[in-house]
Amino acid sequence: MAEPRSPGDPRDEPVYRAILVVLVASVLAGAVLTLIGEAFFGSRALARAGLGLALVCGFLYWVFRLLGRRAARRRQGR
């Protein structure tokens, strides 16, 4: 079950939310490029670039979520 968030939680910052939204959109765009890159455009390079984009942005999404949880724990400990 999710923990209730305290007022002033760093994860509620608009910039943090915007970064996560952009990363999710990039993962989805990369997945779409991976799936249709070779089938529709006949470009294996486009499919590989989409896969790379999805993997890198997925990793960055995970890192930002980790950083947000750490910042929330630090703030809660004060």
pLDDT in tens, 18-53: 999 999 999 999 999 999 998 888 889 999 999 999
Q: How many domains does the chain fold into?
A: 1
User: Is position 3 within any domain?
Assistant: no
Domain that holds residue 39: 14-73
User: Is position 53 within any domain?
Assistant: yes
User: Is position 6 within any domain?
Assistant: no
- Residues 6+ positions from 42 with CB-CB distance below 8 Å: none
User: Is position 9 within any domain?
Assistant: no
User: Is position 2 within any domain?
Assistant: no
User: Is position 1 within any domain?
Assistant: no
User: Is position 8 within any domain?
Assistant: no
Q: How far apart (Å, rounded) are the C-alpha atoms in residues 61 and 20?
A: 6
The pTM of the full predicted model, rounded to 2 decimals, is 0.82
